A and B are shown apart, each in its own frame.
Chain A
Amino acid sequence: MLEIRDLEISFFSGKKQTRRTDRVSFSVRPGEILALVGESGCGKSITALSILGLLPRQGRVTGGEILYAGKNLTALPEKELDEIRGREISMIFQDIMYSLNPVFTVGNQMIEGMRRHLGYTKQQAKEKAIALLKRTGIQNAEAAMRKYPHMLSGGMRQRVMIAMALACGPKILIADEPTTALDVTIQLQIMQLLKSLRDEFGMSILLITHDIGVVAEMADRVVVMYAGQCVEEADTKTLLEQPAHPYTQALLSAVPGVNDEPGRRLYSIPGAVPETYHQMTGCRFAERCPYAGNCPKKGEMKSAPDGRPVRCDLAEKKGREAHGA
């Protein structure tokens, strides 16, 4: 449905070019929730932004393609991209502080948007806006329409954002860390909301997150990113039970569990994401990898024993056992 193929995004400062993602490939299938997981700075957010052409000024897609409905979005002129934005693919963001225009009421911005985009009359737009707000779980939708963003709680604002993103009935919703700025209880509510909306509207969701808990709760499939590369792709169950890449394994053991024996020290991955990862050749995780000892460290895509792609030279031969998990 949406296919990202060998995507390379570079940032430019002056003449200096920094490759922030390296041959990122994955696809979003109809009706699924695909999670893109990784640490901060691994390139997951810019990958998401590039889909709708929202990269910051310094950033540019320098290789690969993003295919949607037979069109390469990276090569599409702005005007045609605008046809897809919002209507076919829409997006919600992490920061809830400034995701709504502070000088207009909620109703105002929703109605204006729909009149522009769908050619609704004021009354039609208003009815649709109230219906959408109700659907996203805002109890007193009529009252919320008259409020300014600063009068709403974070959870409410995110609900309004979701309602706005759904206005044109998109086929794909990109959610860039939609719950990171929210309380845990509200996080769960928003997650459940997104999931039920997916079921109701039959859309796909591309979920960007660093939270394995959110992945376990929400996603059908997972793509793990590390230092600008995809390192592993699997359905959620397989990934959680049999992580093939040492980075994924490390991520999972860094999650505290209720069943942990008391006094277990929380695992943390030694070292940090190398800052100059774009200049590295070979395996980018090698420095932090516990199995780096007798590994060729080429960092090429291999197949795990069950056939799924893993960027680990040891994956093919020995599988998970070799890594000892």
Chain B
Amino acid sequence: MNSSGFSLIMKRFSRHKTALVSLILLVIMIGAAVLAPVVAPYSPTRPTGSFSAPPDSAHWLGTDQIGRDMLSRLLYAARISLLVGFMATVISTAIGVVLGLVSGYFGGWIDKMIMSFTDMVMSFPYILLVLVAAAIFEPGLWSIIWILGFVNWPGVTRLVRGNVLSLRETNFVKSDVAAGMPRRYILFSEILPNTVAPVTVYATSVFALSILDEAALSFLGLGVQTPTPSLGNILNGAQSLTILTGKPWLWAPAGILIILLVISINLVGDALRDAIDPRNNG
């Protein structure tokens, strides 16, 4: 997409004030997470204070049960959670786009095979699938990324397939065939760019969903393992009632961060959908 198309999208996007605020928030959160090694005041894995101390000037968000700085842990946790969300989205989008393109363009038995597989994965009880997979594979950062990547692609596949089905009937695709263009060119240079917009929008919701799923899995102890901090396993430390009622600094910031991340990503995704929609003029 060249500059004029891009600036048009930016213009339409910036009319959504909430989305603009979300985007700024998101940039700050992602920036802080990416720069965690620079901005974090302490190491996230080594005790640096007293146990379960409430926030003070040295530890802005207090310390956890074994004396690690909560702010530093939170920054590193956001980094891990965003990494999981991002990588899982990349994996599911890549699988989904390739299968959707092939399925929609070639049709016939290939389409039938891919779609029944997609439906199968889709109809599986989602959380059960994740739990079983998490139990089979050794819990850890990369297994959670692969697991989440493998459960979220069917939506992308269906989206892309539907798009390709309508695109392959358009005259610009027929014109390409009539002009003797190679299939590879038609599929990747003509059809694929037309699916970028809807896929991007869909991917934002997969991103948000993956962050939530990571939090859920890690909360259950099946995701990212301590001492590596993630938003989910920070919450995992807050399972006892005394902590829940008496020591909110151990869980509230992580919870709020998850909510902020997910809401911002979703709002940005919504605004993106409006901004990219070509029917939305002026």
Give the nearest-CB partner of A88 in chain B: B180
From B2, B169, B175, B185, A99 is in contact (CB under 8 Å) with B175
Interface residue A180 (Cβ < 8 Å from any Cβ of B): no
- Residues 138-160 of A at the B interface (beta carbon under 8 Å): 146, 148, 150
Contacts of B256 in A (CB 8 A): none
* B180 with A103: CB separation less than 8 A: no
* B194 with A148: CB separation less than 8 A: no
- Number of residues on chain A facing chain B (CB within 8 A): 39
Contact flag A93-B174 (CB < 8 Å), given A57-B107, A103-B1:
yes
| Contact code string A160-189 (vs B, CB < 8 Å = 1, else 0) | 010011011000000000000000000000
Give the nearest-CB partner of B170 in chain A: A98
Interface residues of chain B: helix, strand, loop or mixed (majority):
helix
From B1, B174, B177, B180, A117 is in contact (CB under 8 Å) with B180
| Contact code string A9-35 (vs B, CB < 8 Å = 1, else 0) | 000000000000000000000000000
Contacts of A146 in B (CB 8 A): 4
- Give bound CA distance, A167 to B4, whole Å: 27
Interface residue A310 (Cβ < 8 Å from any Cβ of B): no
Interface residue B179 (Cβ < 8 Å from any Cβ of A): yes
Contacts of B190 in A (CB 8 A): 101
Contact flag A99-B179 (CB < 8 Å), given A105-B2, A116-B185:
no
* A99 with B189: CB separation less than 8 A: no
- Top 9 nearest A-B pairs (CB, nearest first) are A85-B180, A86-B179, A98-B170, A99-B171, A82-B180, A93-B171, A91-B178, A86-B180, A101-B172
Using a CB–CB distance below 8 Å, which chain B residues touch chain A?
1-2, 4-5, 107-108, 169-172, 174-182, 185, 189-190, 193-194, 196, 278
Q: What are 15 of the A-B contact pairs (CB < 8 Å)? A: A52-B177, A82-B181, A86-B178, A92-B175, A93-B174, A95-B171, A99-B170, A99-B172, A101-B172, A101-B190, A103-B5, A117-B179, A117-B181, A148-B4, A164-B179
